[in-house]
Amino acid sequence: MPMPVRDHEYFMREALKEAEKAYEKNEVPIGAVIVWNNKIIARGHNLTEQLKDVTAHAEIQAITSASIYIGSKYLRECSIYVTIEPCPMCAGAIGWAQIPTLVFGAYDLKKGYSLFSENILHPKTIVIKEVLAEECKDIIQRFFQEKRKKL
């Protein structure tokens, strides 16, 4: 029996589960999944504090995992789902990997790649914006509210 075709909200909820894992580790809660043939082949959540490494964003980790899984540095048949709009670093990686579909939750009004240049992505990449935007923004806001309470 073929797997049911899943929609953007389904996969974004999976990315949100990754964001929750980051939250539990006291990391800025951003999550990502990479989908190939209607199946999640890689997951990642922000680990910059735990790994003490600015490059440990959810997307970068998911891209590295997906490349290992597929055995190719190009992910030309994949979609990436991220809870927050990627920063220029992650958009650059998505561009290099030639991922044809980027789906993100909430805009990042400070560091989102679109504030710098839309052309950081591959010219053929389709961008689907604001899928479960409220949920994706809420978890970030909740995280920073908690942080401020502790100060």
Helix (H, G, I), strand (E, B) or coil at 5: coil
Kindly identify the residues of this chain, within the stretch 32-71, that bind a second copy according to CB under 8 A: 48-49, 51-55, 60, 63-64, 67-68, 71
Q: Of 36 and 96, which CB lies nearer to a second copy in the complex structure? A: 96
For position 30 contacting a second copy by CB under 8 A, the verdict is no
> What phi and psi values does residue 94 have, to the nearest 5 degrees?
-60, -40
For position 147 contacting a second copy by CB under 8 A, the verdict is no
Binding string, residues 85-114; x marks residues near a second copy by CB under 8 A: --xxxxxxx-xxx---------------x-
Q: Which of 93, 80, 82, 87 is nearest to 113 (CA)?
A: 87
Q: How far is the CB of 54 from a second copy (least distance, A)?
A: 4
For position 120 contacting a second copy by CB under 8 A, the verdict is yes
Sheet-wide strand order for 78-84: 39-45, 31-36, 78-84, 101-106, 126-128
Known catalytic residues? Answer: 59
Q: Of 110 and 150, which CB lies nearer to a second copy in the complex structure? A: 110
Cα-based distances in Å from 107 to 40, 73, 86, 110, 136: 23, 27, 9, 9, 9
Q: Which of 87, 95, 149 is nearest to 116 (CA)?
A: 87
Which residues form the interface with a second copy (CB under 8 A)? 48-49, 51-55, 60, 63-64, 67-68, 71-74, 87-93, 95-97, 113, 116-117, 119-120
